[in-house]
Structure 1
Amino acid sequence: MHTAFDRLVRFANNDGQTFYGEAPPLAFDPSSLIGEKVPVFEGGEPWSPAFKLSGKTQTIAKILSPIPHTPIYHCVGLNYRQHIVESKNPMPKHPALFNKPSDALAGPLDDISIQKEAYGLDYEGELCIVIGKDIKGLAKDEDPLDYVLGYTVGNDFTSRYWQDPKLSSYQAGYAKSFDGFGPIGPFIVSTKVVPHPGELQLTVRVNSEQRQQANTNDLVFDIKEIIKFLARGRTIRVGTIIMTGTPSGVGAFLTPPSFLKHGDVVMVEIEKIGIIKNRVIFQG
């Protein structure tokens, strides 16, 4: 999909006004952009045909989620081979899907307010896709990447307590659908900047301790396969976020298990895209 941007950042200036801007090509940590002037866009949302650089600049005061709203998250479980091994599950024949609601959306530096009932809080660093135009079914000769606005970094926060099959009836969605459980950012990086999303290094740290590290070449189902499967017989709306799965190293499968505590900071970094850092704050 052709885009007017390479590395799109959404931010507020010192007056609280919100803008889309073009982030510098070597910017990965959003904290480093605070106080920087960047070129800004006009013309509505980034998937609009009228979206273009305005010729003006604005100063970044706060980095926001790269889109203000998403209709839904479509998420793929058990999609890294090593994660399937650690979870002792069979290799899936088709993508294992669940959804997160729109209120799971959060920004790349936001504190995540955790419901006190979300016991066994875990992290899942993920490569995410942002859809740039509606899809319903794809012809055999169509390229699914023509519908991709770009790629971003995500964290699929999960309450392992509510993922217990005895409580969830083997459904993953509820455990992953609390408000703020899907922070993304800091940028949407275009497909021309990342032409090979299946060759990216992903790293997750909790309070600077490395927990997950893998390459997206370990994915069972790649980006094109996921989009084709999702769009079969149903509409995937513009602005939809697709979370492509997490690698091995989640807290639930460490020995002993290690779940997130009040004040922990989870950092997810994906090569060529950027870094998100979210602190978890337990209510009560």
Structure 2
Amino acid sequence: MPEPTAPVAPHPANTIAFQGRPGAYSHLACHQAFPDMVALPCHSFEDAFGAVREGTARLAMIPVDNTVAGRVADVHHLLPRGGLHIVAEHFVRVNHHLLGLPGSSIDRLRSAESHVHAIGQCRQFLRRHQLQALVVADTAGAAQDVATAGDPTRAAIASQLAGELYGLVSLASNIEDAEHNTTRFLVLAREPEDPGPATDPVMTTFTFTVKNRPAALYKALGGFATNGVNMVKLESYIDGTFSQAQFYADIMGHPSHDGVHLALEELGFFSHSVEILGVYPAHPFRQQIG
């Protein structure tokens, strides 16, 4: 009888890393954006960054913002020092499912467990059905725990993908309170992949630290207004001395476009440093909401 063969590890060039357990929304984003790639679950965001830096994966799918929960904690601090480059963006409409054991029903349930953000995004549904909300580490983990426990009175709030992976059924779909619940993801790689100035529309993401002078931020950003550059995001991060802030920004346009070039030049004059994290095509979702 032949010896069983060991499973073949996925080739790094065809692997995309994400944070979380199989079935997480980051896993779903990998499937949507890169259906032919193997998704690699990682314990933390740092591990997902590390998988790309060390060559275990070619790409990483990292969430940065949600229309309900806001920015994803820690990710914006990792981006400037993570050693990776943004090469794409992807948007996922978050459709929460109430997942239970086969044969169970909403009437039999006593509790629903999930990540704190997912619980918060489904408050009205949970209140309407008088379900006790239990906070756990992540949505996919909640689905796995419910499947393992085998208790028909327990349910998880997670993605449909998580239900499929762990053998659960959807007892209710689209149970989130807000119809606009959407998460933005960034795709990271070791090397930049500049799409070129002819790409339209294109995004440029960068960080900068303004000089500690009165009106420095106002003057630093003035070039974007006078040169007609659309800044779609601006966030600040205070330093350890509370004396100056680092800023993260997303703009529409390529650094070689005349207006963007002039705006970045003016920004540099009033800043200690400007670091471009990525130049990449804008996702079609932006045109839908524009």
* Structure-1-length-normalised TM-score: 0.27
State which structure, 1 or 2, has the greater radius of gyration over its C-alpha atoms: 2
Please state which structure has a larger fraction of its residues in helix.
2
Which of structures 1 and 2 has the larger relative contact order (alpha carbons within 8 angstroms, sep 6+)? Answer: 1
